[in-house]
Chains A and B, each alone.
Chain A
Amino acid sequence: MNGRPFRRVHAFFSKRSLDAELDAELTAHLELAIEENLERGLSPGEARRLALAQFGGLEQAKEKHREARGLLRLDIFLQDLKYTFRTLGRDPGFTVVAALILALGIGANVAVFSVVNTLLLRPLPFSDAQQLVWIAPPPTKCGLSCATYSTDAYDEFRIYTHSFQDVTGYFAFSSPDNLNLTIGNGAPIPATGIDVIANFFSVLGVKPAMGRLFTPADALDGAPPVIVLSDAWWRRQFNADPQIVGKAFDISGRQTTVIGVLPPSFDFGAVFSPGAKIDAITPLDLYGQPRDWGNIVTLIGRMKPGVTLAQAREDATAAAPHMCWNNKYPQSCGDYAKRGVVPVSLKDYVSGKLRRSLIVLWSAVGLILLIACVNLSNLLLARATARQKEFAMRAALGASRGRIVGQLLTESLILSGMGALLGLLLAYFLVFWLAHQGAIALPLLGTLRIDGAALMWTLFIALATAFLFGAFPGLRMAGGNLQESLKDSGPGAGQSPKHERVRSVLVVTEVALACVLLVGAGLLLRSFLKVLDVDLGFQPQRAYAINVDIPSSADDSNGETPQARQAVALRRTAFFQQVITQVSQIPGVQAAGISDYLPLGQNRAWGTPWPKGVKEPDALPAGPLVYVVTPGYLRAMGTPLRGRDFTWEDSPTTQNVVIISQAFAQFLATYAHWPNGDAVGHTISNGNQDLTIIGVAANVHEETTEGDAGWQIYYPETQAGPIGAELVLRSALPAIAIANPVLHAIIQLNLNQTAAEFRPLQSFVDHANSPRRFFMFLVSAFAALGLLLAALGIYGVISYSVTRQTQEIGIRMALGATMARVQRQVLAGTLRLALTGILLGALASLAVARLISSLLFATSPWDVATYLGMAAVLLAVAVVSGYLPARRASHIDPMVALRAN
């Protein structure tokens, strides 16, 4: 009994021999029956007739036998399959168009699914990633400095919380190209490194591909310097040297030993700083100098198993009052409790902001698929109409309704299967391309690939589309009136007006869907243009930045004494002054200046300076972002300034001066009641020093291009310690013309200068805009695809109706209708369809636009210009797709048309 399925399968495959055996058996049966009848005295003819009568239908018996014996359904399916391939092969034009339409729809869907899956659905590439949390205060005006904690606070958080297995973090203020690697006597090579707390990799659960990762001993003050390489850097810079572990290199002037190589699956940038490439990881010395650097580390925790996020939050809130900015200053304890210590899931931190954009993207490709299905439905319907007689004939010969629907569904499945294969290929290329867009500031993009989930998704949408576009024409066909179809002959057969109405409804649907897509894309495009138009507070065009290495000297003695620090500062100032003077002499350079940080890059804050003698409000807002700059920097950036710029004469011994941004000046003025609200000339205090405001600069977008501009305060490099040095140049000549002379000039002043990249400021802006650009681009591409499909749909229907009416048009022309009149009539039909679709689409868009309103920038979801523009585009496309058939109609020769029948 248990062997039955096997026997059935066996029977299915040995059909021929089993059929032969059955034939033999039935023959024997009839012979036995005839013999018996003969014995009863019947004539031979009568004996045979009676035997057959008693047997019943021979073929029915065989069919029943086969049904009982094997897999009849599969049998039928194989028959249908064979038949489908034959019919599709007979109509290659249709097959190719249908498969292509589906391939576009399915390919776009699979590619976007892969993106959504990677960014949103799949857990982060760490073991038990759901346990990982990002611990930070809610976002504020003071950027990274207010999103990070001091090393003392880190220690106290670790001690006073109980819901975490462990807590780690990394130094959040590393700037790009902060390391320089010197191999042998070669020129120093720039690289980007990140300092992490020693337990970083064990908390994340990352295992080395080679060698080892950090131990607590590596991070101790005075420990021999070690470094861990990223997989990419190890391949690129060290030619994937299998013996790399244990080798030591001169990195930023210190012999540093490579202790390990990270696995390819771990890309620091992909998770924590999208769009940036991080080459190497070094241990952060928690208890040395960094202890006095204030807020420098971000916190990442791994919750104990079974601990919920809510419990972790409670735990963190309870620990916050124990956290001190610096244990040397007891009054700084508890500051963090005011700002908040809030764990959020790491996944949310990494990709939570993108959720809505991704959902919109997903919906857009869903619409594309729907349009493709409607299009296919339409094509199949046209085809089915032409084949109505074939089906009527089959029904007359005894095919059940189910068989015919089955046959049509088989065709749909084959088409969608072909579409899925092609689409998968398309998606593969698209995903490959996306994964190599390193400059897009989207997390995890580099890990994008077509995986098992994407394949399952492909299968799912292939099946879903097959039913979606196949079932409707299938049911219509099978439900048709047999007799009518058989009776009906001639070219108009089965092309009833009813059919055409159905097709028109499909086209209107298609146009409406395309309209929704277009409006969505239009709104996003308009937002993007608005973002590009934002006054950033600086002029990125024709401005370039290059990382300048500050020469170090052995007698700096780590800046431990005030005298040493002063000497370092003086030497640095002299160096900067020389660099700027030299660079300014290069032809084409119009302005040059140095800042330690650049807008849209790293940032930090030093508290909120306050006007002297003015009472502070109870809740002092977080302070402005700090930039330590040289004279000329603001001019090089193209940031307008009122008052005066810094000069080299502003020295450590003269009055302390600052420049503040307009918004910050306005804020202070409301409390200080300065005459005319003018801050210039007034004095503010940061607690330690009095600072005289010498200028007010335009507001600069320092963190995002889209958000508020925030507040800035500029300190002169001569009076405050910069963290690094970015030389900014404004040039009349293109980058190629000045990059080499500039680098050359710097190297002449400092032989250890790395061959740093010459970056247009525009690239910072582009980087900041890249997620928006990315989504806008994809949605627009999909909208264009939708438009194309809709155009195909319109063309198909109009062209078909012209063919159907050939005779009628012929008669009308014979009776005197002019070509223009015929053309007008066909075009009018087109426009009617298009306008109905546009109207419905616009109404639907009004509802849909609400959903994307949070993705728009300075654009109303009901932006009239966008709606009108998109309607115009659709209408134009409709006219073009209707014009071709209209032209054909007007060229019908009445004689030919009439004779044709």
Chain B
Amino acid sequence: MKRSKLDLLQGTLDLMVLKTLAAMGSLHGYGIARRIEQVSGNQVLLNQGTIYASLVRLEQRGWIRSSWGVSGNNRKARFYSLTAAGQRRLSEDARYWERLTGVMERVLRMDKDSGEWTDEGEPA
């Protein structure tokens, strides 16, 4: 079976939500979900419903806060925004993620002749 969309790695959704809120300011759950889908070019396999577990988790940790408000087209919805603690958390997580992707990239680009690992290479 060919996988057309990306499964989300554990914990990545939280980071995406934080970043989305940092970029967009106050936003409701649907808005966050749509924004992530759009930015990913619809490549992420996101059950929109799962975002709510992530939101309640982030809120309990004090990284985001929420309040009820009215959306652009006059609907009552709950709006989430980043807190100062969330801002700090976001930069920490982002740095960590960049380091991780950097490492992953290098590991995946590795071949037999590249760099310093060759001296202990096994017989091909």
Q: Name A residues whose Cβ lies closer than 8 Å to a Cβ of B.
A: 1, 3-4, 7-8, 11, 21-22, 24-26, 28-29, 31-33, 35-36, 54-58, 60-61, 64-65, 67-69
User: Do residues B30 and A61 form an inter-chain contact, with CB atoms below 8 A?
Assistant: no
In the docked arrangement, what's the CA distance between A4 and B58, Å?
10
User: Do residues B73 and A35 form an inter-chain contact, with CB atoms below 8 A?
Assistant: yes
Q: What's the nearest-Cβ distance from chain B to residue A22, in Å? A: 7
Q: A25-B77, A61-B52 are in contact. Are A32 and B30 (CB under 8 A)?
A: yes
User: Do residues A32 and B75 form an inter-chain contact, with CB atoms below 8 A?
Assistant: yes
A1: which B residues are within 8 A, CB to CB?
A: 61-63, 85
User: Do residues A60 and B60 form an inter-chain contact, with CB atoms below 8 A?
Assistant: no
Q: What's the nearest-Cβ distance from chain B to residue A21, in Å? A: 8
Can you name the residue of chain B whose Cβ is closest to the Cβ of A60? B49
For this complex, 24 residue pairs linking A to B, each with C-beta atoms less than 8 Å apart, are A1-B61, A1-B62, A1-B63, A3-B60, A3-B62, A24-B76, A25-B52, A25-B78, A28-B28, A28-B29, A29-B48, A32-B28, A32-B71, A33-B30, A35-B73, A35-B75, A56-B48, A56-B49, A58-B49, A61-B47, A61-B50, A65-B56, A67-B53, A68-B53
Q: Does B95 reach chain A (CB closer than 8 Å)? A: no
User: Do residues B75 and A31 form an inter-chain contact, with CB atoms below 8 A?
Assistant: yes
Q: Name B residues whose Cβ lies closer than 8 Å to a Cβ of A.
A: 28-31, 33-34, 47-50, 52-54, 56-57, 60-63, 71, 73, 75-78, 85
Can you name the residue of chain A whose Cβ is closest to the Cβ of B72? A32
Can you name the residue of chain B whose Cβ is closest to the Cβ of A67? B53
User: Do residues A28 and B62 form an inter-chain contact, with CB atoms below 8 A?
Assistant: no
In the docked arrangement, what's the CA distance between A173 and B28, Å?
92
A26: which B residues are within 8 A, CB to CB?
A: 49, 52
A8: which B residues are within 8 A, CB to CB?
A: 60
B76: which A residues are within 8 A, CB to CB?
A: 24, 28
User: Do residues B30 and A29 form an inter-chain contact, with CB atoms below 8 A?
Assistant: yes
| Interface-centre pick from A3, A29, A60 (highest chain B CB count, 10 A) | A29
B47: which A residues are within 8 A, CB to CB?
A: 54-57, 60-61
User: Do residues B61 and A29 form an inter-chain contact, with CB atoms below 8 A?
Assistant: no
Q: A8-B60, A29-B30 are in contact. Are A64 and B50 (CB under 8 A)?
A: yes
A11: which B residues are within 8 A, CB to CB?
A: 60
B53: contacting residue among A7, A24, A57, A64, CB under 8 A: A64
User: Do residues B78 and A68 form an inter-chain contact, with CB atoms below 8 A?
Assistant: no
Q: A61-B53, A65-B53, A69-B56 are in contact. Are A33 and B48 (CB under 8 A)?
A: yes
Q: What's the nearest-Cβ distance from chain B to residue A541, in Å? A: 82
In the docked arrangement, what's the CA distance between A28 and B29, Å?
9
User: Do residues A55 and B48 form an inter-chain contact, with CB atoms below 8 A?
Assistant: yes
Knowing that A1-B85, A61-B47, A69-B56 are A-B contacts, what are 11 other residue pairs whose CB atoms are under 8 Å apart, sorted by A's residue number? A28-B29, A29-B28, A29-B30, A33-B30, A56-B48, A60-B47, A60-B49, A61-B50, A61-B53, A64-B52, A68-B60
Chief secondary structure at chain A's binding surface: helix
In the docked arrangement, what's the CA distance between A69 and B60, Å?
8
B48: which A residues are within 8 A, CB to CB?
A: 29, 33, 54-56
Q: A1-B61, A28-B78, A33-B30 are in contact. Are A65 and B73 (CB under 8 A)?
A: no
In the docked arrangement, what's the CA distance between A67 and B50, Å?
12
A24: which B residues are within 8 A, CB to CB?
A: 76, 78
B62: which A residues are within 8 A, CB to CB?
A: 1, 3-4
A35: which B residues are within 8 A, CB to CB?
A: 73, 75
Can you name the residue of chain A whose Cβ is closest to the Cβ of B89? A1
In the docked arrangement, what's the CA distance between A662 and B88, Å?
98
A29: which B residues are within 8 A, CB to CB?
A: 28-30, 33, 48, 77
Counting from the closest, the 9 A-B pairs by CB-CB distance are A56-B47, A61-B49, A64-B53, A68-B53, A32-B30, A28-B77, A56-B49, A29-B30, A68-B57
In the docked arrangement, what's the CA distance between A25 and B34, Å?
15
Can you name the residue of chain B whose Cβ is closest to the Cβ of A8? B60
Q: A56-B49, A61-B50 are in contact. Are A28 and B30 (CB under 8 A)?
A: yes
B31: which A residues are within 8 A, CB to CB?
A: 32
User: Do residues A25 and B29 form an inter-chain contact, with CB atoms below 8 A?
Assistant: yes
A31: which B residues are within 8 A, CB to CB?
A: 75
A56: which B residues are within 8 A, CB to CB?
A: 47-50
Can you name the residue of chain B whose Cβ is closest to the Cβ of A25? B78
Can you name the residue of chain A whose Cβ is closest to the Cβ of B48? A55
User: Do residues B49 and A57 form an inter-chain contact, with CB atoms below 8 A?
Assistant: yes
Can you name the residue of chain B whose Cβ is closest to the Cβ of A35? B73
In the docked arrangement, what's the CA distance between A8 and B56, Å?
10
In the docked arrangement, what's the CA distance between A4 and B56, Å?
11
In the docked arrangement, what's the CA distance between A434 and B66, Å?
65
B61: which A residues are within 8 A, CB to CB?
A: 1, 4
User: Do residues A55 and B49 form an inter-chain contact, with CB atoms below 8 A?
Assistant: yes
Q: What's the nearest-Cβ distance from chain B to residue A48, in Å? A: 14
Q: What's the nearest-Cβ distance from chain B to residue A225, in Å? A: 77
User: Do residues B52 and A22 form an inter-chain contact, with CB atoms below 8 A?
Assistant: yes
Q: What's the nearest-Cβ distance from chain A to residue B90, in Å? A: 14
Can you name the residue of chain A whose Cβ is closest to the Cβ of B31? A32
| Interface-centre pick from B29, B34, B49, B63 (highest chain A CB count, 10 A) | B49
A22: which B residues are within 8 A, CB to CB?
A: 52
In the docked arrangement, what's the CA distance between A33 and B37, Å?
13
In the docked arrangement, what's the CA distance between A35 and B31, Å?
13
B75: which A residues are within 8 A, CB to CB?
A: 28, 31-32, 35
B33: which A residues are within 8 A, CB to CB?
A: 29
Can you name the residue of chain A whose Cβ is closest to the Cβ of B76? A28
Can you name the residue of chain B whose Cβ is closest to the Cβ of A22? B52
A7: which B residues are within 8 A, CB to CB?
A: 60
B52: which A residues are within 8 A, CB to CB?
A: 22, 25-26, 61, 64-65
B50: which A residues are within 8 A, CB to CB?
A: 56, 61, 64
B56: which A residues are within 8 A, CB to CB?
A: 65, 68-69
Q: What's the nearest-Cβ distance from chain B to residue A62, in Å? A: 8
Q: What's the nearest-Cβ distance from chain A to residue B43, in Å? A: 15
In the docked arrangement, what's the CA distance between A3 and B63, Å?
12
Q: What's the nearest-Cβ distance from chain B to residue A836, in Å? A: 54
Can you name the residue of chain A whose Cβ is closest to the Cβ of B52? A65
In the docked arrangement, what's the CA distance between A4 and B48, Å?
25
In the docked arrangement, what's the CA distance between A4 and B34, Å?
28
B71: which A residues are within 8 A, CB to CB?
A: 28, 32
B28: which A residues are within 8 A, CB to CB?
A: 28-29, 32
A58: which B residues are within 8 A, CB to CB?
A: 49
A28: which B residues are within 8 A, CB to CB?
A: 28-30, 71, 75-78
In the docked arrangement, what's the CA distance between A35 and B76, Å?
13
Q: What's the nearest-Cβ distance from chain A to residue B33, in Å? A: 8
Can you name the residue of chain B whose Cβ is closest to the Cβ of A64? B53
B29: which A residues are within 8 A, CB to CB?
A: 25, 28-29
Q: What's the nearest-Cβ distance from chain B to residue A396, in Å? A: 25
In the docked arrangement, what's the CA distance between A55 and B47, Å?
5
Q: What's the nearest-Cβ distance from chain B to residue A59, in Å? A: 9
| Interface-centre pick from A1, A22, A25, A31 (highest chain B CB count, 10 A) | A25
Can you name the residue of chain B whose Cβ is closest to the Cβ of A56? B47
